[in-house]
Structure 1
Amino acid sequence: MTIIGIGAGALAGYLYWYMVGCDSGTCAITSKPFNSTLYGAVMGGLLLSSTSKRKDEC
């Protein structure tokens, strides 16, 4: 599940940069596509890894 979260988060981060972004270049996360994609991947991975159950917990 974590891999899916990373991929979905990266896509969401890139799309956020593409559609909203930051024209002035002063925004730390959204000023460059690499930053927003990486941030989205980290957040998506953390979100889905925290909600998925481990096999030994079942």
Structure 2
Amino acid sequence: MNLKAVIVTIIGVILGAVAGYLYYKYVGCITGTCVITSKPLNATLYGALIGGLLSSSFIKKEKK
């Protein structure tokens, strides 16, 4: 992995974490029984995971 790939992945993780928290804050779960969106930590970590996976999928692999 080169530096550009690491930076893109970190940016994706940060943006995903922010999006996960905003989803918790504005949409959330009214009843509190939702596994992911019932707590801000869960929503933030899930968003960070998805953001990291999505951003790393846009990195082009180098040809040998």
TM-score, normalised via structure 2 length = 0.82
Q: Does 1:39 align with 2:46?
A: yes
Shift of 1:53: 2.0
Q: Larger C-alpha radius of gyration, 1 or 2?
A: 2
Shift of 1:29: 0.4
Aligned-partner residue type, residue 16 of structure 2: G
Aligned-partner residue type, residue 31 of structure 1: S
1:12 match: secondary structure: helix
Mark the runs of 5 or more structure 2 residues left unpaired by the alignment: 1-7
- Report how many residues are paired: 56
Structure 1 stretches of 4+ with a deviation exceeding 4 A read none
Mark the runs of 5 or more structure 1 residues left unpaired by the alignment: none
Aligned-partner residue type, residue 19 of structure 1: Y
1:52 pairs with one of 43, 59, 63 = 59
Alpha-carbon RMSD:
1.0
